[in-house]
Amino acid sequence: MKIERIRLRQIRMPLKHHFETSFGRTYERRIVLVEVEDGDGAAGWGEVTCGENPFYNEEWVDAAWMILRDYAAPRVLRAEVESAADIAPLTARVRGHRMARGGLEAACWELEARKKGIPLWRHIGGTRSETQSGVSIGIQDSREELLAIVAAALADGYRRIKIKIKPGWDIDAVAAVRERFPQTPLMADANSAYTLADRERLRQLDAFGLTMIEQPLAHDDIVDHAELQKSIATPICLDECIRTARHAEQAIRLGACRIVNIKLGRVGGFREARRVHEVCAANGIPVWCGGMLEAGIGRAHNIALSMLSNFTLPGDVAASKRYWSRDIVAPAVEVTPQGAIAAPSGPGLGYALDRERIEALTERREELT
């Protein structure tokens, strides 16, 4: 494989509903798309999953653009590699910035799958035929609104509910959902809003039979999560903390988590995502696929990733229509009334790009050769 051309573009897409986490509100996404092309003119697409601001992790769109243009693209362009699995090491000298590097890496995998004429999920080694879908529900202004959104998601077939929590919107919110929906698989995601000083408060969540609590403590603190897991019954799931397979190995060894949320961008693409998946599988730790409010390309990549065998828990990858009035793939990503997303049968992403839509949303572009 040899990449001859890389096209960066930034699109801007308003969310149907704003999304609030413990680190802030998002009304509109700005997303960097990466298109790679080889000498035969074959193309592959990737999506950079970082946020608009460096609040989830250190990455954001403007930095991603610079990393791609000034560091990642020059190392990938015209490099002769055996396969897409050899792309990630080309940019390994860059510390961090995994979402930027991962967007490019994923595009190369997509190109390779397309050239082989097989679906991306199969190309990365996926064996599942569908993935169960859950929803991630942001912090709401009232418990009534939260309950209405949960009820609607369950009516749509989604298999588990995740609610975002933060100090001041935690025990009461979880209690309200649990009281109204006693049997629903339910979990909470704190996005690092707590510290070990909140141990007692977090222990109170044990009363609600949550399937897990996601990333309660600092984004970079595996040790404190291990400490916390000793004093709460609810399984801890790590998100932000796991950027490499090595982190997964260390977190598992320390007892810092019993479940791992794998995000393709956060770990830098498919090569590392597969390694995280392997480490977890070898240790009996189930995984699920997280989301970053992706547009259709990133969503399709997430679906491909979710077909690996150890993705046994419902993920955050939901239907396009929960986020967008019109996605950048057509037809859009859909979830069955049973809450499943089927493995697509077409080559590569398995979802056709809506080029007209992408063009209309583009606000910045650059071609690198």
Candidate list 2, 115, 116, 263, residue with the active-site label:
263
When asked if residue 272 is in the footprint of ligand OSB (CB under 6 A), the reply is no
Binding residues for ligand OSB, total number by CB under 6 A: 12
Candidate list 164, 166, 230, 321, residue with the active-site label:
164
Q: How far is the CB of 114 from ligand OSB (least distance, A)?
A: 25
- Nearest Cα neighbor of 290 from 266, 310, 317 is 317
Q: Are strands 24-38 and 43-47 parallel, antiparallel or unpaired?
A: antiparallel
Task: Residue 324: name its binding partner from Mg ion, ligand OSB, none (Cβ under 5 to 8 Å by kind).
Answer: none
Q: How far is the CB of 240 from ligand OSB (least distance, A)?
A: 7
For residues 266 and 64, the answer to whether their CB atoms sit within 8 Å is no
Q: How far is the CB of 102 from ligand OSB (least distance, A)?
A: 15
With CB under 6 A as the contact rule, the residue among 20, 316, 327, 354 that binds ligand OSB is: 316
Q: How far apart are CA 11 and CA 167, in angstroms?
A: 34
With CB under 5 A as the contact rule, the residue among 105, 110, 239, 294 that binds Mg ion is: 239
Annotation marks residue 263 as catalytic: yes
DSSP 265-334: TTTTSHHHHHHHHHHHHHTT--EEE---S--HHHHHHHHHHTTSTT--S-BS---GGGT-SS-SBSSPP-
When asked if residue 191 is in the footprint of ligand OSB (CB under 6 A), the reply is yes
Annotation marks residue 164 as catalytic: yes
When asked if residue 189 is in the footprint of Mg ion (CB under 5 A), the reply is yes
Q: How far is the CB of 20 from ligand OSB (least distance, A)?
A: 10
The smaller minimum CB distance to ligand OSB, of residues 119 and 216, is found at 216
Name the 3-class secondary structure at 221.
coil
Q: Cis peptide before 331, with omega less than 30 degrees from 0?
A: yes
Q: Which of residues 18-77 bind Mg ion (CB under 5 A)?
A: none
Q: How far apart are CA 367 and CA 292, in angstroms?
A: 25
What amino acid is encoded at 246 in this protein? Answer: R
When asked if residue 192 is in the footprint of ligand OSB (CB under 6 A), the reply is no
Closest residue to ligand OSB, Cβ-based?
Answer: 291
With CB under 6 A as the contact rule, the residue among 269, 290, 339, 344 that binds ligand OSB is: 290
What are the beta bridge partners of residue 11? 31, 362
Task: Residue 174: name its binding partner from ligand OSB, Mg ion, none (Cβ under 5 to 8 Å by kind).
Answer: none
Runs of H (alpha helix) within the chain? 61-67, 73-76, 98-116, 120-123, 143-155, 171-180, 199-204, 222-231, 245-254, 270-282, 296-305, 355-361
Catalytic residues: 164, 263
Binding site for ligand OSB (CB under 6 A): 21, 56, 136, 189, 191, 239, 290-293, 316, 318
